[in-house]
Amino acid sequence: MKLKVLSASLIALVFLVPACKGAEIHRSFTTIVNEAALVFVGTVASQTPRPGEPGKMVFTDVTFSDIEIVSGKPAAEMVSDGSLTLSFAGGEWGGEIMKVSGVPEFVNQRRYLVFVKYMVPKVASPVVGSSQGVFPLIQDEATGEWYALTYGGRAITSLQEDGELAVTPRVEKIVNARAVYLPTDTTDITTVLPERVAGSPSPNSRVSIMEPNLAKSQQPLTLKQLLKTVEALATTKGEQQ
């Protein structure tokens, strides 16, 4: 089985869509909300690869079930029998695995918070900022409360004044509202560090990562709390339009 890894910029040239180039630019959380035409929570029910036009590209249709719409309205062609389907460049077809840098990957039966920018076909990734608009969810093992992680696996503790998220080191699990960190996370978190998407041209894209001792005293935001923030930002966006 062959593995092909294509750059997002190459896919952008093939399909002439800006979505791929956008994956290389860091976005604050406020920007992610502002650029989203649709925000929803859903569970990945299936992932179906298929050949796309002109035949050399592979797409994977990711179908979400148990949908909760946070803001916006999905395009009619995205919805069927209560489920919602998004298409992403890449997947396995004809004995080859094709991956596109910056395009998010999903796990079946896992629940996600997703910010959708493009509701049209033939884009490498329809979500805002490619993987930046995908937040895997995790349940508190003691209470069952849901929490959203960044695509890189960090719990969210607050939204800063500059629109960026303050996050913890990478999380293994959450127990009684406290994050347990991955022992393999060797990130230098003694200061505020850049956490840029690969290929980002901006050296000033920054995210606040708390020191472990400080992070232990800060409870991660629950999904409910984060969604209230999203709804407030979406309301502000609507009033400004």
pLDDT in tens, the chain (241 residues): 455 555 444 444 344 344 444 345 889 999 999 999 999 999 999 999 998 766 678 999 999 999 999 999 998 888 999 999 999 999 998 888 898 888 999 999 999 999 999 877 668 899 999 899 999 999 999 999 999 999 999 999 999 999 999 999 999 999 999 999 988 765 544 333 334 433 333 434 445 555 544 455 579 999 999 999 999 998 887 666 5
- The H or E element that residue 98 is part of is strand 96-100
Q: Tell me if 196 sits within 8 A of 206, measured CB to CB.
A: no
Task: Please state, in angstroms and rounded to a whole number, the distance separating the CA atoms of residues 236 and 241.
Answer: 9
What per-residue confidence (pLDDT) applies to 187?
Answer: 56
What per-residue confidence (pLDDT) applies to 142?
Answer: 98
Q: Tell me if 137 sits within 8 A of 15, measured CB to CB.
A: no
- In the sheet that holds 79-80, the strands lie side by side as 79-80, 83-89, 58-72, 38-51, 111-116, 134-139, 146-148
Alpha helices in the chain (DSSP H): 8-15, 19-22, 29-35, 212-216, 223-240
Q: Tell me if 209 sits within 8 A of 192, measured CB to CB.
A: yes
Q: Tell me if 104 sits within 8 A of 127, measured CB to CB.
A: yes
What per-residue confidence (pLDDT) applies to 138?
Answer: 98
Phi and psi, residue 83, nearest 5°: -110, 165
What per-residue confidence (pLDDT) applies to 236?
Answer: 80
What per-residue confidence (pLDDT) applies to 91?
Answer: 92
CA 40 vs. chain centroid, Å, equals 11
Task: Please state, in angstroms and rounded to a whole number, the distance separating the CA atoms of residues 118 and 185.
Answer: 33
Whole-prediction pTM value?
Answer: 0.81
Residue tagged 């596109």 (tokens): 100
Calculate Rg over the CA atoms of the chain: 18
